[in-house]
Amino acid sequence: MTTAETHRATDDTEGALPQSERLRFQEQGFLVLRGLFAREEIEELRAEFTAIGEGGRVPGHFEPREPVPGEPEDPLARLPRVMHPHQISQLALRWLLDARLRVVLEGLLGEEPLAAQSMFYYKPPGARGQALHQDNFYLRVEPGTCVAAWVACDLIDRDNGGLEVVPGTHEMDIFCPEEADPTLSFVREYVPPPPGLAAVPVDMEPGDVLFFNGSLVHGSQPNRTADRFRRSFICHYVGRSTERIGTWYPTMAMSGDRVRLPESVGAGPCGTEFDDGGRAPH
């Protein structure tokens, strides 16, 4: 059982998001809706990304690496995350623009959402995690911030590297990250919890969705299991009033129409990866 407060999705999510859930998001910086997607939908999504993972390199989106001779095998070399899969998969595009996500996001953002990014993480057994960080450190949304929709595609818990969040940090500024431990994290940036605050785990089942503020400090530990993946489909959104965002994040309306925004300063891909076990940055 997770220590994070959650809510089970009901028919209410087909209309406006209940005020109680909007208030919970504003107070904590995150909200879990249980069972927003059906198991059958999750199985279809997993099958799509299994095919992508077995299909070989897709430049700019899915770039597995060859093992380094003499070095321990890195599970993320064979199955790295897929960046912007909605640009190469119609199914991923449909998920990014899904009406159920749109309804929730309208309630959380208080305005029309724009889609900015999609990702898929395989996180196979033995894979490193992603050190605590803030998403808007990378997107650099101005004014305001982004909101993530993090869809669980497996049973996710502490053993296989489930997500952890630091409640209360959504009201803080963007921190200057420290260097992460490359034996635990595949990205360089690490934001330690501020004094008096602590990371809490969010256990999830397939079809659950975690929505969180772009300033919320969050991350994950390594997958310490021998036989369980921790797959997740992740999307980022901003409000229609956004004036600037990093060029890595080509925004579109939930109708699929392109919305061009001026570039913000200092943006980059979500997470600066260590290469080949963390010896040097890309």
pLDDT at 8: 52
Res 218: pLDDT:
98
Distance, CA of 137 to CA of 175 (rounded, Å): 8
Tens of pLDDT along the chain (282 residues) come to 344 544 555 444 456 899 999 999 999 999 999 999 999 999 999 999 999 999 999 999 999 998 888 888 899 999 999 999 999 999 999 999 999 999 999 999 999 999 999 999 999 999 999 999 999 999 999 999 999 999 999 999 999 999 999 999 999 999 999 999 999 999 999 999 999 999 999 999 999 999 999 999 999 999 999 999 999 999 999 999 999 999 999 999 999 999 999 999 887 766 677 664 443 332
The answer to whether 95 and 44 are in contact (CB under 8 A) is: no
Q: Which sign does the torsion angle of CA 207, 210, 214, 218 carry?
A: negative
If 0-12 CB within 10 Å is exposed, 13-18 middle and 19+ buried, where does residue 91 land?
A: middle
In our burial notation (b when 16+ CB lie closer than 10 A, e otherwise), range 93-106 reads bebbbbebbbbbbb
**Token pair in block for residue 218:** 């969050």
List the one residue out of 137, 114, 146 whose CA is nearest residue 261. 114
Cα within 13 Å of Cα(240), Cβ side: 11
Question: Which pLDDT score is estimated for 273?
Answer: 75
Of 237, 249, 219, nearest to 144 by C-alpha is 237
Buried b (16+ CB within 10 A) or exposed e, 242-269: beebbebbbbbebeeeebebeebeebeb
> Using an 8 Å Cβ cutoff, are 52 and 86 in contact?
no
Sign of the dihedral through C-alpha 107, 110, 113, 118: negative
User: pLDDT at position 72, please?
Assistant: 85
- Say if residues 195 and 119 touch (Cβ distance below 8 Å): no
Q: What is the DSSP letter of 228?
A: -
Domain ranges for the chain, please list them.
7-58+73-281
The CATH homologous superfamily of the domain defined by 7-58+73-281: q2cbj1_9rhob like domain (2.60.120.620)
Peptide bond into 143 cis (omega under 30): yes
The confidence score (pLDDT) of residue 280 equals 32
* pTM of the full structure: 0.91
* pLDDT score recorded for residue 270: 67
**DSSP string of 172-198?**
SPPP--EE--TTTBSBSEE-PPPTT--
Residue 138 CB coordination number (10 Å): 25
* pLDDT value for 196: 96
243 vs 237: CA distance, rounded Å: 13
Read out DSSP for 107-158? HHHSS-EEEEEEEEE---TT--BEEEE-THHHH--BSS--EEEEEE-S-B-T
CA distance 181 to 189: 9
